[in-house]
Structure 1
Amino acid sequence: MAFRAPIDEQLFLLTTAGISGGGSDRDTVEAVLRGIAVLAETRWGPLSRIGDAVGAKLSGAGVIMPPGYREAYANYVEGGWGSIGVPVEFGGQGLSFSLSMAVLETLGGANMAFALCPLLTAGAIEALHHHGSPTQKAIYLPKLATGEWTGTMNLTEPQAGSDVGMLRTQATPRADGRWNIQGMKTFISFGDHDLSGNIAHLVLARTPGAPPGTRGISLFLVPKLLPDANGEPAGPNDIRVVSIEHKLGIHASPTCVMSFGDQDCCIGELVGEEFGGMRAMFTMMNNARLNVGLQGVQLAEAATQKAVEYAGERVQSARAGGSREPVAIIEHPDVRRMILRMKAQTQAIRALVYYASSLVDMKRAGDPTAASRLDLLTPLAKAHATEVGCEVTSLGIQVHGGMGYIEETGAAQLFRDARITTIYEGTNGIQAADLVYRKVPMEGGRVLSDLLAEMRQDTNTPALIQLVDECDRLAAQFNRADVDDRLAGSTPFLTMLSVAVCGWLLANQLRALDDGFNPALATVKRAAIRFYLEQIVPEALGLAAAASASAEVLYEVTAHELAL
C-alpha cells in the first residue's frame, strides 16, 4: 500500500489542539503539509522498499545510495523543505520548529531511513546556529538549510560507546588557526553518500593537554570537501569511510565507520570554545532526541495504515455471534483491539512529540518556563515514542498474521527499522536514568510538580488522576532514594509519566474535537482516546510496583552467576 500523509491529524494539532504553529496562519500550515505530502507520497515513499532491498553500498568512490534516491533528494532540495524552520538570516523560511517537525514526520512516514539524512542535518544546523562563529554560520548554514550540503554528528568511538568521556580522537592546532583531526568514529549515520555537494561533519575530539573525561572534549567542524575563499567546495579533506555496517533495518541509511587523518592532514575548525564540546553536543543531541522520538511516530503511523488496509481486505472466518459467512478480519474483536490500540498509541506519541516541539517554539519566543519543561519532556519524547513505535510495528505484523512475517508485505521492514530507535541518540535506559537523576530533581522538583499540578487541574478521568498521583508519589520517593534504587525503577517510571502526559494531552484534544477536525474522522479519534484512557492508562498504573522496587533484587546474584 502507498503511505498517506496524516494531514488532518497534523493540521488539528498545529492549529486547533493547543500546539503552536509558530504564528503561521492555518492556510500557510495547511499549504506546507499538503506540499510535503505530495513529495513524500509520490517520490520518497515508493523508494522505501527499494532502499530496504538494495541498501546503500560502499564503493571506491564512497557510499552510493540506492537507485532513485539522488533524484528524490534533489526534489527535496529544490522544494526548500529543509529550510522551513531555519532563521531567515541564514537562508531559511523562519517558520516554526513544530511545523518543521510535521514536515519531517511526513517524509519519515513515507521513508524513515531516507529521512535520517535531513534529521541529522537539522541537528548540525542547530549546533552551528547556537555555537558557530559568524564565518562558520555564513558559509555553512545557508547550504545546510537548503539541503545542498548535509550534516552529521560524529560522537561514538569503538572503545567508548555511550561513554563519550572515553573518546580518543585528537585535535592538534595548526599555524593557520585551524586544527588537524585524527581518529576514528563509528555508527555515523549518513557519514558518506552521493546525495549532496558536501558533508559537514561535527566531530568531538580532544586537544593537547585536555582534562580527562567529558571536561576535556571540544567540538570541531570537519567538512568532507574543504571550502575555498568563496565558501564553495574545493579540495577533499582526509576523511575516509572504512566500512558501512550491515544492519537489521534502515538499510538505505549508510551507517559508517569513519577515519579522520589516517593518510594526510584532516583539517577542522573549532566550534565554540575549547572544552565546550559537551554543551554543543547536547544542543545537537536534544534536537536529535526529539527527532528520534518522531521516528517512533513515523513508523507507528505507517504500520497502522498498512495494518488497517490489510485487515479490511483479508477475508477469513465468520465472526462469532454473527452469520456463518467469512468476513474481513477487521470485523473480529481481537483484530479491532489491536488496530484501535495502534491508533491510540500513535496519536498519543504524536501528541507528546508535537507538544515537546511546541516548547521549542515557546522557548525561542522567550517563554520563561518552556526551557525547563522541554528539558523534562525530552527523555519522555525520545524513549516512550520509540518504545511505542516498536510496539505498534510489532502489532502491525500480528494483524497481518503469517503474511506479516513475509518481507513482501512491508510490515516486517517497519518493525526492523523501528528497533534501532530505542538505541541510538542515547539508549532508552540512558533516557530513563536522565529523567530520574537529573530532570525530576530540577529546580527542587518544581518543574515536574508544576506539570503534574496542571495535569490534575485539567483532568476529570479517575484512572488518569490516579496515575498522576502515583507519578507524584514516586518522584518524591526517587528524591529520597539512593542512586541504584532510582535507576532500578527509572524505566517503568518513565513509562508511567509518559502515559500520564499522553493521556492528559489526548483528553485535552477531546475538548477541541468539535472545532476544526474532520467530522468523518472525529468518531474514530474519540474511540481511540477513550481506548487510551480506559485501557492504556490503567496498564501504566500496574508499573508502580516495578518503579517502587529497590535495586536489591538486581544484585542478589553475581555477574558470574547471571551467566550460568
Structure 2
Amino acid sequence: MSSYSAPLRDIRFTLFDLLDVESSFARLGFDEAGRDLVDPMLDEAARFAGTVLAPLNKAGDEHGVRYDKDSGSVTTAPGFAEAYRQFTEGGWSGLSAPAEFGGMGLPHVVGMPLEEMINSANLAWGNFPLLSHGAANALQHHGEDWQREVFLGKLVTGEWTGTMCLTEPHCGTDLGLLKTRAEPAADGAYSITGTKIFITAGEHDLTPNIVHLVLARLPDAPAGSKGISLFVVPKFKVGRDGAVGERNAVRCGAVEHKMGIHGSATCVMNFDGAQGWLVGQPHRGLMAMFTMMNTARLGVGLQGLGLAERALQNALRYARERLQSRSLSGPKYPDRPADPIIVQPDVRRMLLTCKALVEGGRALGYHAGLQVDLAAHAGSEEERRQADDLLGFLTPIVKGCLTEWGVECTYHALQCFGGHGYIAEHGMEQLARDARITTLYEGTTGIQALDLMGRKTMQLQGAGLKVFLGMVQAFCEQQAGNAALAEFVGPLAEKAREWQGLTMAIAKRAAGDPEEIGAAAHDYLFYSGYMVLAYWWARSVAAAEASSQPQAFRDAKRETARFYFARILPRTLAHKAAIETGPAPLLALDEAAFDA
C-alpha cells in the first residue's frame, strides 16, 4: 500500500524562500498571515492529510460509492463522512474565504498547500469540498445580496457543499448546445428542467444540503452560448429568508462507474421542475460560471501535482529498497547481494523527471495562486490588472501541464516498481488510474491549449505572456553578473527570446490561416509549460543559495535544475518543430481515408 508524508520542507521553501509570500502579504494588508501563523497551520494540515485522509485512500478505491436507485441516495465510503466532519470542524473549508461569510480571510495562496496535501492523501475525498470553493466564488461575485447571505456562509463553513452542473448527455465542451430549461415562476424563482451528467459530488451523505449551480436557458434565450443563464438550485429548497423547506425536484439518476477516483460520486442529475434562483444577469451565466470554473481549474492542476508527489515518494522509497543486479560501473553496495535499483541510470531518469516536474510544478501552481491575491488586493489598478493578465495566462498552463505531468509521473513511478507496480498491493496502479481523470474534467488538455493559444495569446494579444516575459527578463538582468547562475540564466534568456519569436510567428501565420491556431495549440501549451518551469528552476537555484536551507538541500536544487535544463527543457525543440510544420500534416488526410 502506498504511503504519504507531506513535503513540508519544499512547501515552505516554495512559499517563503522562492515566492517570498510574506512580503506580498504585508503589501496586501494580510497583517496576520505571517510565518508564525502559517507554519503551524501547515503542520496541522500535514497531520490531517497524513493520518486522517491517507489511510482512507485505498478503502475509498475498493469500496467506492453506493447508489440506491429507489431513493436516489448515495453513500460514501466508510470513514469519508467522519473525515469531512473533522475537516469542517477544523475550519479548513473556509481557510481563504472572507471573514464576513465565516471564513478565516487568509490569502488564497495559503490554501494551496492544503489542497496539494489533500490531493496527495486522498484525491477522491478531496473532490467533495473542491467545487464548494468555486460555487462560493461565483455567488460572492455574481449573486444577489440575499443569495450571498443565505448560501455563502453554509458553503464557506462546509455545512453545505456545492456543485457545478454544466455538461449534458449531448453537450460537453460546446455549452451553446445545452437544452436544460428555466421557466419563470410566480414567486420570482424559476422551474429548472433537464439532465446534467458527470456532476462531481452531485449526491452524497456528507452534508444535509447540496447547492447546485446550474446552467440553463430562459424561454427568450438567444441561441448559442450567449443564451445561457446561471441558477442556484439547492437539494432542499431554500427561501430568500434562508428557511430550508421541502426536498427539491432534483434527484441523482445514476452514478458513473469509472477508471479511477472510485470514492468520488460522479452523478447523473435530473432536474424535474426544480426550484432555482437566477444568479447574475439573464443570458450572462457563462461569465459567472467561468468565475467558478477558473477556481476549479487551478484546483485540478494541484490534483496532478499532489498525485505526482505521492507517486514520487513511493517510487523513491522502493528504488532505495529494491535490490536488483549491479551498477554498470561496479558494485555500489558490495556488502549486499545486489545494488538497490536507484543506482541504475534509467531509474534515476524516471525519479529525476518526477522530482523536476513536481518541485518546478509546485512553484508554478503556488505562484498562480498568489496572482489570485494580487489581482484582488493589490494597491494599484495597474498591479491588479497585471496580476489578472498573468493569472489568465497561467491558468491553462497550470491545469493542462500539471495534470499531464501528473499522469507522466504516476506512470514513471509505477514503472520503477516493475511488475510490482501493476498489481494493487503497492497502490501505484490506483495513483495512475486516479491521475487520468485530471486531464479530462474541468476542460480537457485540448481545451486548455485552445484557451492559451486562441484567447490568452491571440485574442488578448499576449497580455499575460508579456508580463511573464518581463519577469524572465528582469531576473536574467538581475543575475547577469552572477557566475554561479550563468549556466541557467544564459539559456533561459535565449529560450525566452525564442518563445517570443515563436508566438509572433504563429500569430502572423494565423492571420492568413485560422487553422494555424488549432494546429499549434497543443505544442504551444507544452512549450510554454516547459519555459515557465525553466524560469522557476533558475529562480529556485538562486533562492536556495540565498536561503538558510541545509547545503544538501541547496545542492539538490542545483543538480535537479541541471537535469531539467539538460534533459527536460529540450522537449521544447520537438514542440517548436511540430508547430512550424503548420496545419497541413494534421488536415491533409481525408476523413474517409482514416480507415483506408
Q: Which amino acid aligns with 1:548?
A: E
Matched, 1:267 2:299: no
Indicate the residue corresponding to 1:395 in structure 2.
Answer: 412
CA contact (8 A) 1:127 1:283 kept: yes
The answer to whether the Cα contact below 8 Å between 1:493 and 1:547 also exists between their aligned partners in 2 is: yes
Distance 2:191 2:96 in 1: 33
Label 1:68 to 1:444 Cα distance change in 2 as closer, same or farther (>3 A).
Answer: closer
- Name whichever of 454-463 and 300-309 sits farther off: 454-463
CA distance in 1, matches of 2:593, 2:239: 60
Match status 1:486 vs 2:517: yes
> Contact 2:540–2:557 (CA<8 Å) still a contact in 1?
no
Mean Cα deviation higher: 537-546 or 152-161: 537-546
Which residue is 1:297 aligned to? 305
Q: Which residue of 2 aligns with 1:221?
A: 232
- The 5-angstrom pairing of residues 454-465 of structure 1 reads 454-459=471-476, 460=486, 461=488, 462-465=490-493
User: In the alignment, which residue of structure 2 is the partner of 1:531?
Assistant: 563
Name 1:68's counterpart in structure 2. 79
- Structure 1 residue 229, shift from structure 2 partner: 6.7
Over 3 Å counting, the alpha-carbon distance change for 1:48 and 1:232 in structure 2 is farther
Q: Which of 113, 119, 129 is residue 140 of structure 2 equivalent to?
A: 129
Q: In the aligned structure 2, how far is the partner of 1:268 from the partner of 1:539?
A: 49
| Partners of 1:114 and 1:163 in 2: CA distance | 29
Secondary structure, in 3 states, of the residue corresponding to 1:315? coil
Structure 1 residues 280 and 516, CA gap change in structure 2 (3 angstroms) = farther
Question: Is the 2:391–2:464 Cα contact (8 Å) retained in structure 1?
Answer: no
Matched ranges for 1:6-45 at <5 A: 6-18=7-19, 20=21, 22=25, 23=30, 24-45=33-54
Deviations 1:92-147 (A, max 9, x none): 00001111111111111100111111211111111011011111111111111111
Deviations 1:222-277 (A, max 9, x none): 0011135763543111111111111110101111111001xxx4100001111110
Matching residue's letter, 2:425: E
2:483 matched to which residue of 1? none
How many equivalent pairs are there?
Answer: 561
Residue 520 of structure 1: CA displacement? Answer: 4.8
Aligned residue in 1 for 2:469: 452
Cα distance in 2 for residues equivalent to 1:228 and 1:456: 54
Question: Are 1:470 and 2:470 matched, yes or no?
Answer: no
User: Match for residue 509 of structure 1?
Assistant: 540
- How far off its partner does 1:443 sit? 4.8
Compute the displacement of 1:478 (Å).
1.9
Shift of 1:178: 0.4
Identical columns (%): 42
Matched-pair contact (CA < 8 Å) for 2:163–2:199: yes
Partner Cα distance (2:572, 2:461) in 1: 26
CA 1:518–1:68 in structure 2 vs 1: closer, same or farther (change >3 Å)?
farther
Q: Distance in 1 between matches of 2:37 and 2:595?
A: 58
Deviations 1:386-413 (A, max 9, x none): 1100100010111011101111111111
> For the Cα contact (< 8 Å) 2:96–2:111, is it kept in 1?
yes
1:179-194 alignment to 2 at 5 Å?
A: 179-194=190-205
Contact 2:541 2:554 in 1 (8 A): no
Q: Structure 2: which 5+ runs fail to align?
A: 379-383, 477-485
* Local SS of the residue matching 1:424: coil
Give the TM-score of the pair, scaled to structure 2: 0.91
Q: For 2:577 and 2:322, locate their aligned partners in 1 and report how far apart those are by CA, in whole Å.
A: 41
Distance 1:319 1:449, change over 3 A: same
Residues 1:335 and 2:347 aligned together: yes
Q: Does 1:5 align with 2:6?
A: yes
1:77 maps to 88
- How far apart, in 2, do the equivalents of 1:270 and 1:255 lie? 25
For residues 164 and 228 of structure 1, what CA distance do their matches in structure 2 show?
29
Q: How large is the Cα RMSD of the aligned pairs?
A: 1.6
C-alpha distance in structure 2 between counterparts of 1:390 and 1:518, whole Å: 31
Residues 118 and 19 (structure 1), Cα distance of their counterparts in 2 relative to 1, 3 Å cut: farther
Shift of 1:450: 3.7
Distance in 2 between residues matched to 1:222 and 1:450, nearest whole Å:
39
TM-score for the superposition, normalised by structure 1: 0.96
User: Once the 2 structures are TM-superposed, how far is the Cα of residue 2 of structure 1 from its aligned partner?
Assistant: 2.4
**Paired amino acid for 1:340:** L
Q: Which amino acid is the alignment partner of residue 491 of structure 1?
A: H
Structure 1 counterpart SS, 2:589: coil
